[in-house]
Amino acid sequence: RSVTSAESGALERAAEAALRPKQLADFVGQEVVREQLSLVLDAAQGRGRPPEHVLLSGPPGLGKTTLAMIIATELSVPLRITSGPAVQHAGDLAAILSALEEGEVLFIDEIHRLARPAEEMLYIAMEDFRVDVVVGKGVGATSIPLELPPFTVVGATTRAGLLPAPLRDRFGFTGHLDYYRSEELHRVVTRSAQQLEADIVDEAAAEIASRSRGTPRIANRLLRRVRDYAQVRGSGRLDLEAARSALEVYEVDAQGLDRLDRAVLRALCTRFAGGPVGLSTLAVSVGEETETVETVVEPYLVREGFLTRTPRGRIASPMAWSHLGLQAPEAAAG
Ligand code: ADP
């Protein structure tokens, strides 16, 4: 797996946690969401009530978990964390919900992956602050309604479109996180380097920023790889030379595309003649999960103009061909 798409182990999670901004004021970029969210939080605090439920959507690594933590911190309440795939049965969710105390924040990552019964239980709980606990089995089973204190759900999803309307409608505020601009990532890298006590020159920070696929998680990850490189093969100082060499070692190209990005584009161009080809066929041909290709790889390729989505399938743009050093086929006449 490539450096920028690799899923994290415990070590990486710890490294990430150390670099998380703790307050809204330290959260770089995303001005629109930041302002909207700070209004929601300030108003709720002014009324002395928990804020309405918040949904955060956007590609992985853009700061959804970080914002959930910041929301709890700003409200000075504990944060409970779970995720769609972790809740296997409605009973698991009932246990989580009934343990919540007044005003607490419940963060549900990958909320689009909740099983249907849990989803239904959740939107009733969000609306009425009530959960129906089923006691007993079979014909003797009875459902006992349990009142919950008011709390706030912060849901995160890479695919807001997949949330069923009844659940989506329970969120008073939805914030869409978009890819970061290079200058914003530059600030993320500089801030992280300070926290890591790494001696980085400005050009190196800019280089890392411009090759991080618009994603703070990747910027921080590349920063750590550049730091390794500088320590092992350089002077310890993170200069432009160390940045470029490290990015080469980890196969991040000048546009910030990593090995998986290029594999997808290459398959599209060479195996499917530039498309159109269906998403799942494309995913199988590079040996990846459809969801990974759809939520991690594609959005950035689309945004940068390497790939377009059409009703008939994915199509490589002329830029994709030239980026790979391939000759695009002549467009058929007529
Ligand atoms: P998501 O939940 O959207 O996948 P995370 O909140 O886990 O993303 O963010 C991934 C990493 O990127 C975190 O370690 C965090 O420190 C960093 N990060 C994300 N957004 C920002 C930001 N706006 N400013 C600074 N660092 C950020």
What pLDDT is attached to residue 333?
44
What pLDDT is attached to residue 49?
94
Catalytic residue among 80, 213, 217, 224: 217
Pick the residue whose CA is nearest to atom 9 on ligand 1. 63
Six-digit token pair at 224?
Answer: 């750590």
What pLDDT is attached to residue 190?
97
- The mean pLDDT of the chain is 93
pLDDT band at 1, cuts 50/70/90?
very low
Q: Provide, rounded to the nearest whole percent, the portion of the chain with pLDDT above 70.
A: 96
Global pTM reads: 0.91
Give the Å distance between the CA of 167 and the centre of ligand 1: 25
Verify whether ligand 1 is closer than 6 Å to residue 64 (CB atom). yes
Catalytic residue among 109, 239, 258, 261: 109
Average pLDDT, integer, range 29-53: 95
User: What residues contact 270, with CB distance under 8 A and at least 6 apart?
Assistant: 326
What pLDDT is attached to residue 329?
85
What pLDDT is attached to residue 8?
58
Residue 297 is classified by DSSP as I
What pLDDT is attached to residue 262?
97
Q: Which helix (H) or strand (E) holds 125?
A: helix 116-128
Verify whether ligand 1 is closer than 6 Å to residue 16 (CB atom). yes
List the single range of 134-148, 214-228, 261-275, 289-303 with lowest mean pLDDT. 134-148
Verify whether ligand 1 is closer than 6 Å to residue 323 (CB atom). no
Catalytic residue among 4, 152, 157, 158: 158
Whether 109 is catalytic? yes
Q: Which residues are annotated as a binding site for ATP?
A: 19-20, 61, 64-66, 127-129, 170, 180, 217
Which one is predicted more confidently, 246 or 330? 246
pLDDT band at 315, cuts 50/70/90?
very high
> Does 276 sit behind a cis peptide bond, omega within 30 degrees of 0 on the bond before it?
yes
Q: For 200, left (φ over 0), alpha (ψ -120 to 50), or beta?
A: beta
What is the separation of C-alpha 104 from the centre of its chain, rounded to a whole number of angstroms?
23
Q: Provide, rounded to the nearest whole percent, the portion of the chain with pLDDT above 90.
A: 86
What pLDDT is attached to residue 334?
39
CB contact at 8 A, 108 and 155: yes
What pLDDT is attached to residue 277?
97
Verify whether ligand 1 is closer than 6 Å to residue 216 (CB atom). yes
Give the Å distance between the CA of 300 and the centre of ligand 1: 17
What pLDDT is attached to residue 143?
87
List the single range of 8-12, 25-29, 250-254, 295-299 with lowest mean pLDDT. 8-12
Whether 22 is catalytic? no
Average pLDDT, integer, range 279-297: 95
State residue 329 phi and psi, 5-degree precision. -65, 150
Verify whether ligand 1 is closer than 6 Å to residue 20 (CB atom). yes
Q: Which atom of ligand 1 is nearest to the CA of 69?
A: 6
Give the Å distance between the CA of 52 and the centre of ligand 1: 23
Verify whether ligand 1 is closer than 6 Å to residue 220 (CB atom). yes
What pLDDT is attached to residue 7?
47
Q: Which atom of ligand 1 is nearest to the CA of 58?
A: 3
Question: pLDDT tens digits, residue range 256-270?
Answer: 999 999 999 999 999
What pLDDT is attached to residue 137?
85
**Nearest residue to 209 (alpha-carbon basis) of 195, 226, 194:** 226
What pLDDT is attached to residue 135?
83
Judge whether residue 252 has pLDDT over 50: yes
CA distances from 42 to 57, 88, 305 (A): 21, 35, 39
Q: Which of 66, 186, 195, 208 to mutate to test the pocket of ligand 1 (most atoms within 8 A of CB)?
A: 66
Give the Å distance between the CA of 8 and the centre of ligand 1: 13
Q: Which atom of ligand 1 is nearest to the CA of 29?
A: 23
* Residue whose entry in the numeric block shows the structure tokens 């890298």: 189
Average pLDDT, integer, range 85-99: 94
Average pLDDT, integer, range 227-239: 95
Catalytic residue among 65, 152, 157, 215: 65
